Amino acid sequence: MNANSNQTTGAFGNPWVQLSIGVICMACVANLQYGWTLFVTPIDDKYHWGRAAIQVAFTLFVLVETWLIPVEGYLVDRFGPRYVVIAGAFLVAIAWVINSGASSLAMLYFAAALGGIGTGCVYGTCVGNALKWFPGRRGLAAGITAAGFGAGAAITIGPIGSMIQSAGYEHAFLVFGLIQGAIVFVMAWGMQVAPTSLIAAKVKANQTAHGYTPAEVLRNPVFWVMYLMFVLVASGGLTMAASMAPIAKDFKIDKVPVELFGLTMAAGIFAIQLNRIFDGVGRPFFGWVSDQIGREYTMALAFTIGAAALFMLSQVGTNPVMFVLLTAVYFGVYGEIFSLFPATQGDTFGAKYAAANAGMLYTAKGSGALLVPVAAAIAKSSGWDSVFMIAMGFNLAAAILALVVLKPLRARHFAISRATFAPPAAPSTVGDHQHRTT
């Protein structure tokens, strides 16, 4: 079996159809990450394992999901997207079915690992496939695909919460596990390999036609600069995402009513919901912007806005209205890393091994997650303002790296790539036969 076994055919052989399939699949696995928070308290109420012990399952899920994506990406590049996503469908369903009956932490952790593998299969495949189907608009395509990961949670968080209240968390795990897995399984059969004509399409000056292997990518300094930037920004975003409720509580504003946009709700809940909306919208928006003005300029813009939001949080974050608005702005420019970095790596290293290469870069999310406990310790000893200022420094450092280091480094990389992997010249139709150049 190889990738050609699910080559493009029929109505499904259309970039927008493939993108739509990817978004649906991403939406169906989003709850394994974003819906998890709804289950923590009910599990603890039943077994009294402690929230810290239960949350180890979440950490394990994130680490497995991110660190195995390069392997899953390699399988996509080797065998095509369909069967990798089918495997992911079974794993995400089995994970939540096990969760529904898990009576020990060991079972909960095992299910988290299976869910991480399954989600990685779906996430890595859908992002990699989008990069191949949209060589000229990778930022927009990756952004729309990544937005699906948040949109799925936004749509189903309510129904899951209601089912937990009415029928118990075990029933919610079982029902939604089977539904989500079944939808992914069905959609996977429509996934197809991007045609060679797209992968080998004429590239722009800031793209390469050569498909760099993962081994070649790991030897390239461009990759490691992007990896460092990804870690710097992701560590702050993951810390904020994991700590929104504790921050609001420590600021004593979590239950303070806030009226905005015609809605009134507690500041803590309002902030979390608005963050999800801004995060989801920001991913395709900044991906589109990067297609227009360039990846590095967009990164610098988004990271700088994020730094400004963090600085303002350190100054006026205890004001409930400002807390809601500033965290929304921050997440609106944070989520773009999940569209900009995959698109940048696709432009830099080509489409042939895009899934595996994007997967290697995505492990930076797992590396950034390792800094979340460090941030919690800093907050406990020095307060959240110190965490905001450190994250602000990380964002500014990444913005500077984008313009001062990444941009010239990539320009040099493209020049070398064109000189080394120039396409063969067409033979002359008149006169002496000319040898093709290499």
Taking only the tens place, the pLDDT of each residue in 332-341 is: 999 889 889 9
Q: Do 266 and 256 touch, CB atoms closer than 8 A?
A: yes
Q: How many CB atoms lie within 10 A of CB 249?
A: 13
One-letter amino acid of 134: F
Q: Do 46 and 100 touch, CB atoms closer than 8 A?
A: no
Please give the backbone phi and psi of residue 135, each rounded to the nearest 5 degrees, phi first.
Answer: -60, -25
Give the Cα separation of 90 and 113 in Å (integer). 13
Tokens of 413: 């990389």
Contacts of 411 (CB under 8 A, 6+ apart): none
| pLDDT for residue 392 | 97
Mean pLDDT (10-residue bins), the chain, 438 residues: 56 87 92 81 88 81 86 83 94 96 94 94 89 82 84 77 91 95 95 73 66 92 96 91 80 88 84 83 90 93 97 94 94 90 89 83 87 83 93 97 96 88 52 41
Region of 413 please: left (phi>0), alpha (psi -120 to 50) or beta. alpha
Shortest CA distance to 113 belongs to which of 53, 68, 52, 83?
68
| pLDDT for residue 422 | 65
Q: Do 317 and 326 touch, CB atoms closer than 8 A?
A: yes
Residue that is written with structure tokens 């870069």 in the block:
361
pLDDT digits (tens, 9 = 90+) for 15-43: 899 999 999 999 999 888 878 877 888 89
| pLDDT for residue 438 | 34
Q: Is 204 exposed, middle or buried (0-12, 13-18, 19+ CB in 10 A)?
A: exposed
Shortest CA distance to 368 belongs to which of 196, 176, 227?
227
Q: Do 120 and 72 touch, CB atoms closer than 8 A?
A: yes
Give the Cα separation of 309 and 313 in Å (integer). 6
Longest pairwise C-alpha distance within the chain: 86
118 CA to centre of own chain: 15
235 CA to centre of own chain: 13
| pLDDT for residue 71 | 84
CATH fold for domain 10-201: Growth Hormone; Chain: A; (1.20.1250)
Q: For residue 258, list its beta bridge partners.
A: 265
Q: Helix crossing, 51-67 with 354-369: angle to 10°?
A: 150
Q: Do 171 and 45 touch, CB atoms closer than 8 A?
A: no
| pLDDT for residue 205 | 59
Question: Which residue spans of the chain are classified as CATH 1.20.1250.20?
Answer: 10-201, 203-419
| pLDDT for residue 1 | 53
The second-level CATH assignment, the architecture, of 203-419 is: Up-down Bundle (1.20)
Give the Cα separation of 35 and 10 in Å (integer). 36
Please give the backbone phi and psi of residue 309, each rounded to the nearest 5 degrees, phi first.
Answer: -65, -40
Residue that is written with structure tokens 């006169």 in the block:
431
